[in-house]
Amino acid sequence: MKKAILTGLIFFGSWACVTFAPAPPSFYIESIPQSVASRLTLDQRIAADEAWTDLKQGRAEQARKTLLKLGQENPVTRAGLGYAALSVSDLATAETYFKDSLERYPDLTTANVGLAQIYETQGKKEQAFAQYREILKRDPENRWAGPRFQALQGELTQGLFKDAANARTAGKTEEAKAALLKVLFYDPASTEANYLLGTIYLEENNTGKALLHFNAFLEKNAGTPEQVKKARRALAENYYKNQELGRSLDAYEKLAELEPQDKAVAGRIEELKNKLGVFELPSQYGVIPSLEAIAREDLAALIAVKFKDFLNVPEPQTQILVDIATSWAQKLIIKVASQNIMSAYDNHTFQPKRIINRADLAESLARLMDFLKRRGARLVPLLDPRKIQIVDVSPDSFYFRPIVAVVSYQVMDLTPQRMFEPERTVPGREAIRILDVVLGLSK
């Protein structure tokens, strides 16, 4: 009996000496972004790393003590305290800490990650989606947020498509449009939403909005062949109805590529050509979309053809151009140069074969938009030019003002690193897409 008691005491004593490691948290803890860590002193960085290690290993209280020593003004303190609160399932406190952290340090994606997990836990999918989007806006390659963003985006948009379909079946058109517009909020790249909205607005005889969405649908270069045909036909017919003959011709010619046997379309094209006095374009014009880098003559031709409705005015000045006689785009160059959209150099050369870069394109686009505004186009900047920051173009650069202008209209974009890449050449398809955006804005 005594032996049994002694054995039990030894076992109990051994058990009491065992140290049980806390279980790691069931949620994901994002590392401190380098942009934030670089603001810390060496001692602060070491302390922050220790706190994060403790958090990831489930030692929330130990992490909390370390973080409090760093002080409330330290960039990582409140985010870390948010994770400590999350460790004990205190979601309200964790949310407060994360929000406060982001108010002070908007680039601290660590806090966005914490909020996203809280909202997912609470079933607040729209709020979780907003956090994922903020993370990816600042860190496009984030491997944790990327797949979750896509999954939630798909879930939300699929539900909205069902809502829209049910609303249309029930004759509730406004509800259907609201659902589809919300799809575009969650997924601006959705071709189906633009197509369905274009169809609904066309049924309502709201041609302005129908054309807006059909154009957006076509710019995304997707959709079924039947959808593309319907959108192209709607554009062509409505431009013709509104006497926008140049745009109508362009739309009918694109429709003819899809419906080569349609005699009515071919007849309308001939009618429009006769009314506009359009000459047959040289074969080189059709090659532009396949060019890896366009030249000045290619850009002049694209502008002259796409904006012929606006350029059909008396030429205000005659440009002396000494080197375009052998260019296939000679007549088109003269048309564009006469309006000073693309001008000659000081030695009266146009240099039609010179390859252009993004800075050159921006300058020509800025001139084009100024010309369009003089012709009555209502072009409104989407971004405040004063707030646009460009890393790789100096404010002293000749190209700075036109680049800021095209970015403010969202005609050309900056990279996520706020770079314009002014020296990069421009492929034909990219130039066409950009000019189509300008054409759409100039309606």
The CATH number assigned to the domain holding 229 equals 1.25.40.10
Give CA–CA dist 225/259, Å, rounded: 10
Cβ atoms 379, 352 nearer than 8 A: no
Position 18 confidence tier, pLDDT thresholds 50, 70, 90: very low
Spatial neighbors of 107 by CB under 8 A, at least 6 apart, are 33, 35, 36, 138
Range from 15-19, 376-380, 426-430 carrying the lowest mean pLDDT: 15-19
Instruction: Give the residue with greater pLDDT, 202 vs 421.
Output: 421
My answer on whether 121 and 157 are in the same domain is no
* Residue 436 shares a structural domain with residue 296: yes
* Spacing of C-alpha 52 from chain mean position: 34
Using the predicted structure, report yes or no on whether residue 39 has a pLDDT greater than 50: yes
Asked if the structure places residue 348 within a domain, the reply is: yes
Would 60 be classed as within a structural domain? yes
Residue 357: strand, helix, or coil: strand
pLDDT, residue 344, reads 87
Residue 303 has pLDDT above 70, yes or no: yes
**228 and 159 in one domain?**
yes
- Shared domain check, 261 and 194: yes
pLDDT in tens, 104-152: 888 899 999 999 999 999 999 999 999 999 999 989 999 999 999 999 9
Boundary of a domain, candidates 142, 174, 204: 142
pLDDT range class, residue 277, cuts 50, 70, 90: low
Kindly state whether residues 353 and 407 are assigned to the same domain: yes
Q: Say yes or no: 48 and 78 in one domain.
A: yes
Q: Please say whether the beta carbons of 357 and 424 come within 8 A.
A: yes
The residue from 107, 142, 177 where one domain ends is 142
What lies within 8 Å, CB to CB, of 123 at 6+ separation is none
> How far is residue 327's CA from residue 243's CA, in Å, rounded to a whole number?
32
- 40/70 same-domain check: yes
Going by pLDDT thresholds of 50, 70 and 90, the confidence category of residue 283 is confident
Higher-pLDDT residue of 277, 140: 140
Tens digits of residue pLDDT in 314-329: 665 666 789 999 999 9
User: Is 299 a residue whose pLDDT tops 80?
Assistant: yes
Selected residue with higher pLDDT from 317 and 234: 234
Query: Is pLDDT above 50 for 6?
Result: no
pLDDT digits (tens, 9 = 90+) for 152-211: 999 999 999 999 999 999 999 999 999 999 999 999 999 999 999 999 998 898 888 988
C-alpha span between 192 and 381 (Å, rounded):
27
Considering the domain architecture, whether residues 86 and 135 belong to the same structural domain is answered as yes
Average pLDDT rounded to a whole number, residues 49-69: 90
- Structural domain including 260 reads 153-276
* Residue at 437 is within a domain: yes
In a domain, 15, yes or no: no
Distance, in Å, from the CA atom of 155 to the CA atom of 171, rounded to the nearest integer, reads 25
What percentage of the chain carries pLDDT values higher than 90?
60
Same domain, 39 and 75: yes
Distance CA 440, CA 443 (A): 6
* pLDDT value, residue 11: 45
Position 9 confidence tier, pLDDT thresholds 50, 70, 90: very low
What rounded mean pLDDT belongs to the chain? 88
Q: How would residue 247 be classed by pLDDT, with cut points 50, 70 and 90? A: confident
**Residues composing the chain:** 443
Lowest mean pLDDT among 122-136, 220-234, 353-367: 220-234
Is 270 or 318 the better-scoring residue by pLDDT? Answer: 270
Q: Among residues of the chain, what percentage have pLDDT more than 70?
A: 92
